[in-house]
Amino acid sequence: MGKGGYKIRVNSISSGLSKSEIMQGLMQKDWLSNVAQKTVPSRTFGTADPASTSLVRYLIHESSEYVTGNDFIVEEDAGATVPGVPLFSSP
């Protein structure tokens, strides 16, 4: 991308399904609970805090100055990302 000279870093965080403010409405859907019971080994969803928030704090801190071009995968446990489940759901 070539934006390092401007001190622009580009990273992404790919999270599995987790309880968070943005996912609150989706997490209350019965069908999603049924999907979790069949596909998520722990039968539950994680929370965004502390896993994602700790990672975000690191990425915005100057100690990650040379970290760029990465995709960080944050999941509660292996297989928690369910293919085909939309990240955003209309009411």
DSSP conformation class of 4: G
The pLDDT-based confidence of 19 (bands split at 50, 70, 90) is confident
Residue-wise pLDDT for 61-72, tens only, equals: 999 888 888 888
What is this structure's pTM?
A: 0.60
